[in-house]
Structure 1
Amino acid sequence: MLVRRSSEQGITTLTLDSPHNRNALSARLVGELHDAFAEAAADSGVRAVLLTHTGNTFCAGADLSEAGSDASAPLGLVRLMRAVVELPKPVVAVVDGHVRAGGLGLLGACDIAVAGEKSSFAFTEARLGLAPAVISMVLLPRLDPRAASRYFLTGERFGAREAAGMGLITLAGEPGDVLGPVLDGLRRGSPQGLAESKRLVTAELLRVLDRDTEELAARSARLFASEEAHEGMTAFLERRDPAWAR
């Protein structure tokens, strides 16, 4: 299993546990997450879902060993993000490590996100010949526009406090210190109250997903299949600079 599940006092915890590829979004991990979210949605005893990770990486984005071989992969990521957004229960991301590229889309789909001081973030797509196309649908409605322009284009790393300031996460601080009041508040919410309140705060994300999924998934698949992206991903896996950076 790449996704471990546990439950306590109405909170189901889903733990990404694929350390060999830094919790990358392989087809198997995405499928297991879908199943776990569906199970949580159907369980009347689940008040909220906490999404976290083992190791020093929350999610490294696309599994580059699979990238380009499956033209439907961008749509698979969109479906996963949509499953998080549409889940009638709040989803809280707890990050204590690195988040890259497509992993930021998974983070952005969550309703609340907490990150510790060891966390780092980067939109690395432009450096690989790609673009944060499909993940932009759940991120741009949340992010400060100037910050999005800078980090989408430069691929620079930034920390938890910057992430909170730009709207990528909710709280910067050690999860053990800041998570308690959040989970207590969610446990006090009624199932109906939480579901209907979530519908209000996710309405714009769903409008964007409805409007742009087809175009941006096709764009992402085209970019992944391009020669430039092949060079970028190969260079990354070989730990060398791509041709355009020499």
Structure 2
Amino acid sequence: MFETIDIEIKDCIATLWMNRPAIHNAFNPTLILELTDALHRVAMDANVRIVVLAGRGKNFSAGADLEWMQAVGKKPMDENIQDARQLAEMLRTLAELPKPTVARVSGAALGGGMGLASACDICVASDDAIFATSEVRLGLIPSAISPYVIRAIGERQAYRYFQTGERVTAPKAAALGLVHEVVPTAQLDTAVALIVEALLKGGPAAQTAAKSLIQAVGKTVMSWLVEDTVLRIANLRTTPEAQEGIAAFLSKRPPNWAGE
């Protein structure tokens, strides 16, 4: 049994509840290790098809417990690094889980909480949800969560929000690509259930393969891919269509395929 995590399994859906509502489900070493363990358990459970991540109380997660962060900052470097590795491992376990994952976000999803939402495959948020990579305001950086947040919102947006620490509303988070659905708080569970229903229509092995495909395609750009893009544009701009399009732009007229 866990101290900081509740696991509810109904039919083939596992809901992992972060259960530290008095401090907004902030991370401490216990929660990090228990969530990692819980994720491994549901990953290995053949009866579980889909995993939903949620937070007890009004808030999803306020990120790292600052008292813990302050204490760990005073530890010897090897212990500091080990603590950081545990958080990174938890996030990676979530991001690479071989089953569909859905973040159920209400209230605050700050710092590491935003990282958890980003690491899930799908994010459904209530209209009162607030997101932020607020670490810079504490003299820190969103290091462990950065691969997943950047994957969700892109490098361009990360340059802004990693440096400003601005809070982002749920509709804005949807516009940035982090959130898939925004609904009134009273409809949050219904919206999650609809996503789960849609996921259950997919083949489990195919969904695992789909996740693997996305991860493979989304890796760092390789030299061969750069060369491929060079060849594509070089070939395309020699065609009559491209020549016409360029000429039309320079002449400030519609191209011949656009009509009058």
TM over 0.5: yes
Query: Contact conserved, 1:10 with 1:187, CA < 8 A, in 2?
Result: no
Counterpart code for 1:106: L
Q: Partner residue of 1:218?
A: none
For 2:143 and 2:33, how far apart are their aligned partners in 1?
Answer: 21
TM-score normalised by structure 2 residue count:
0.75
What pairs up with 1:180-191 in 2 under 5 angstroms?
180-191=193-204
Query: Contact conserved, 1:96 with 1:115, CA < 8 A, in 2?
Result: yes
For 1:82 and 1:51, how far apart are their aligned partners in 2?
Answer: 14
Higher relative CO (Cα under 8 Å, sequence separation at least 6) belongs to 1
Which segment is superposed worse, 142-151 or 48-57? 142-151
Q: Partner residue of 1:201?
A: 214
Query: Number of residues paired by the alignment?
Result: 207
Query: Contact conserved, 1:57 with 1:98, CA < 8 A, in 2?
Result: yes
Query: Contact conserved, 1:141 with 1:204, CA < 8 A, in 2?
Result: no
1:76 is aligned, of 86, 89, 93, to: 86
SS of residue paired to 2:34: helix
Percent identity over paired residues: 37
Structure 2 residue runs of 5 or longer lacking an equivalent are 221-260
Query: Contact conserved, 2:63 with 2:110, CA < 8 A, in 1?
Result: yes
Query: Is 1:95 equivalent to 2:95 in the alignment?
Result: no
Counterpart code for 1:75: R
RMSD over aligned CA atoms reads 1.7
Deviation at 1:151, TM superposition (A): 1.6
What pairs up with 1:105-116 in 2 under 5 angstroms?
105-116=115-126
Runs of 4+ in structure 1 deviating by more than 4 angstroms, as ranges, are: none
Q: Higher Cα Rg: structure 1 or 2?
A: 2
Structure 1 residue runs of 5 or longer lacking an equivalent are 209-246
Counterpart code for 1:192: A
Deviation at 1:201, TM superposition (A): 2.3
Query: Is 1:176 equivalent to 2:177 in the alignment?
Result: no
SS of residue paired to 1:168: coil
SS of residue paired to 2:197: helix
Q: 1:84 to 1:133 in 2, by over 3 A?
A: same
Q: Partner residue of 1:141?
A: 151
For 2:119 and 2:150, how far apart are their aligned partners in 1?
Answer: 11
For 1:204 and 1:137, how far apart are their aligned partners in 2?
Answer: 15
2:26 is aligned, of 13, 24, 27, to: 24
Deviation at 1:65, TM superposition (A): 1.3
TM-score normalised by structure 1 residue count:
0.79
Query: Contact conserved, 1:115 with 1:172, CA < 8 A, in 2?
Result: yes
